[in-house]
Each structure stands twice: as C-alpha cells, then as structure tokens.
C-alpha cells in the first residue's frame, strides 16, 4: 500500500478505535448520579455525548501528525486485515453520520417551509432572530433552524397566553438562542461514533434535553420575581391546547413543549427559587488547560508513531 493509503488507514482506524473506547467511557460515566444545577448537568451530559467524537478526532489528528513526521515515504508497505477493518468501520461511521445529517436537514426544511407559508412577522422584545406567528395544529413555540434561526409560535398560543406569560415564554426561548442549543441538538443527532447507534446514546441525548429544558425554565427569573409562576401558567395553557392525537413534530429545534408531562416542570417553577448558577472557569484557565493538552499531545507524537508502527507490523 502507498504512503497516502497507509496514512488514510491510520487516520480512520485510530478514529474508529478511539471513538469506540470513548463511547464505552461515556456510557459508564452517564450511569452515575449528576449533581449541580440543571445547567451544570446539561453541560456535563453534552460533554459526555461529545466525548467519543472528541477522543476520536484527537487520536486521529495525533496519528496523522505522527505518521507525517516520522513515517518514511517508502512506496509500498502491507497493512493488516485488522487495521483495514477498523478503517472501514471509520468510513461507515462517517457515512452514517452524513446520511443522518442529510435526513435531519431535509426534514427540518420541509416542516419549516410548511410553517412559513402561513407565517406573519411578530414583534418580540429582546429577541435577536426573526419571529413569526404560524398556523399549526400543535401549539408549537420553538426556535427552528441551525444557521438561519427563527422563532415560530402558533397563533393559538398567542391568543391563549397573557402578556406576562408570553414574556416568560420569550425568556425561555432566549436562553436556548444564546446557548446555540439547535446546533447542539443537530450534533448529537448526527455524530459519527458507535454511541449514536446504541440505546445508551439516545438515552443520553434524552437526558440532556430534559435537564436543558429545566435550565431554560430557570432562566425566566431574569424578567422579574413572577417570571417562574408566569412560565408555569404558560406551560399549562399550552399543554391544554394540544389536540388529541397530535404529537409534536420531531425536529432539531428548541421547543417550549413537545407533548410531554409538564408536571415536574410546573412543580419546580412554583415550588422553589431558581438555583444559583455555578461559577464557570475563566477564559484564561480554559486556555491554559487547552495549551497544556496541545503541548502534551505534541510531546507524545513519537510514542504515538511507535504504537502505529507496531500495529502495522504485528497485527494480522
């Protein structure tokens, strides 16, 4: 096999192997009890869901760099069946992720085009994206789109909710907007890792959705002391508007309500104050950690090449 062919095999096989190991770690870590506020739990769950791909991409990058720096440019060298199979697994993971991305994108575009046929602009204070009232059987309130985001709200929601309740709804959706939750949802739906093909991956994404909605609920305290009660009333009003047998369309969208039981959310909103946000590390601290990781990875390049060379030489 040529140098370029061996490089491709090394890149894909290291990604597949590392992503598989990261999937196992993520599954084990997600079984533990999470602590902290819903926002902190959402960050932890998102990090666990991204772990397999993050580990896979880091290992692939290190494998490519070590191969380019240390591997002689000889014309031909055999590669074993095992590494070839791992490389094929890496190709399959990326192909499945691409197919999912296309499916999600087409489904989103189809539903949004249907909604926008009846859309009329509405003015929403402090909203950084276009807002539209739409005709929809389900009482949808959602931020849709990944790069061209917009807020859509069913007309029956606007009619049923008071100004105070609508203000609480807008605060909830602003939280999703500022944290780019639609991109997070799309990523979790289309990651090229073994975890995405398991029930554990789906459960991890579902847990993230649940605690992320609680974190968005807590954000309504920014509009005043009655914000939490106003959002609780809005959730009950929206839930009552759902026609029988009309489930929410599943999209990578940040929706106020999808047809689930709102009892837990309402009890939290009226029964307790919002938890204090956790103090996050400074940018300098995160930069220092990232720089240390990059330096350590650079120092380990030669060792990585030794491992790759041993795999090429000795694996069947």
Pairing label, strands 131-134, 141-144: unpaired
Q: How many CB atoms lie within 10 A of CB 245?
A: 5
Q: What is the pLDDT of residues 251-299, one digit of tens each?
A: 667 888 888 888 889 998 988 765 655 555 566 766 666 656 665 656 5
- Which of 22-31, 231-240, 247-256, 288-297 is least confident? 288-297
Pairing label, strands 150-154, 131-134: parallel
Angle formed at CA 271 by CA 143 and CA 35, multiple of 5 degrees = 70
> Given a cut of 70, is residue 214 above it in pLDDT?
yes
What pLDDT was estimated at residue 244?
77
CA distance 79 to 10: 10
Alpha helical stretches, state H, the chain: 3-30, 38-70, 81-116, 155-160, 163-178, 181-189, 199-218, 227-240, 263-271, 283-299, 301-314
User: CB–CB of 177/143 below 8 Å?
Assistant: yes
Phi, psi (deg, nearest 5) at residue 143: -90, 120
> Given a cut of 70, is residue 181 above it in pLDDT?
yes
Strand partners, 255: 142
Average pLDDT over residues 14-22: 92
Closest-CA residue to 238 (of 255, 220, 223, 257): 257
Give the model's confidence band at 235: pLDDT under 50 very low, under 70 low, under 90 confident, else very high.
very high
Give the model's confidence band at 22: pLDDT under 50 very low, under 70 low, under 90 confident, else very high.
very high
Collapsed DSSP state (helix, strand, coil) of residue 145: coil
CA distance 282 to 286: 6
Q: What is the pLDDT of residues 89-136, one digit of tens each?
A: 999 999 999 999 998 888 888 888 888 999 999 999 888 899 999 998
Closest-CA residue to 50 (of 145, 184, 214, 159): 184
User: CB–CB of 67/4 below 8 Å?
Assistant: no
What pLDDT was estimated at residue 314?
55
């Amino acid at each position: 096999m040529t140098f370029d062919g061996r490089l491709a095999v090394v890149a894909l096989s290291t990604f597949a192997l590392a992503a598989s190991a990261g999937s196992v770690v993520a599954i084990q870590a997600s079984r533990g009890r999470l602590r902290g506020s819903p926002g902190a739990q959402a960050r932890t769950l998102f990090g666990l869901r991204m772990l397999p791909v993050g580990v896979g991409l880091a290992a692939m990058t290190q494998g490519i760099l070590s191969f380019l720096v240390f591997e002689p440019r000889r014309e031909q060298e055999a590669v074993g069946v095992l590494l070839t199979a791992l490389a094929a697994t890496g190709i399959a993971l990326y192909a499945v992720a691409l197919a999912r991305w296309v499916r999600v994108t087409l489904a989103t575009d189809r539903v949004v085009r249907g909604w926008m046929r009846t859309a009329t602009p509405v003015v929403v204070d402090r909203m950084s994206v276009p807002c539209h009232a739409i005709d929809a059987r389900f009482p949808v309130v959602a931020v849709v789109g990944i790069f061209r985001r917009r807020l859509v709200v069913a007309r029956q929601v606007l009619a049923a909710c008071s100004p105070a309740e609508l203000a609480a709804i807008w605060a909830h959706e602003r939280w999703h907007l500022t944290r780019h939750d639609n991109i997070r949802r799309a990523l979790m739906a289309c990651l090229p890792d073994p975890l995405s093909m398991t029930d554990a991956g789906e459960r991890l994404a579902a847990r993230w959705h649940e605690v992320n909605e609680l974190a968005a609920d807590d954000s309504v305290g920014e509009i005043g002391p009655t914000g939490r009660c106003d959002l609780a009333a809005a959730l009950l009003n929206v839930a009552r508007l759902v026609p029988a047998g009309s489930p929410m369309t599943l999209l990578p969208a940040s929706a106020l309500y999808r047809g689930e039981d709102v009892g837990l959310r309402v009890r939290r909103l009226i029964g307790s104050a919002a938890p204090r946000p956790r103090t996050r590390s400074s940018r300098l601290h995160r930069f220092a950690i990232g720089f240390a990781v990059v330096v350590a990875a650079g120092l380990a390049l030669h060792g990585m090449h030794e491992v790759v060379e041993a795999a090429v030489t000795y694996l069947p």
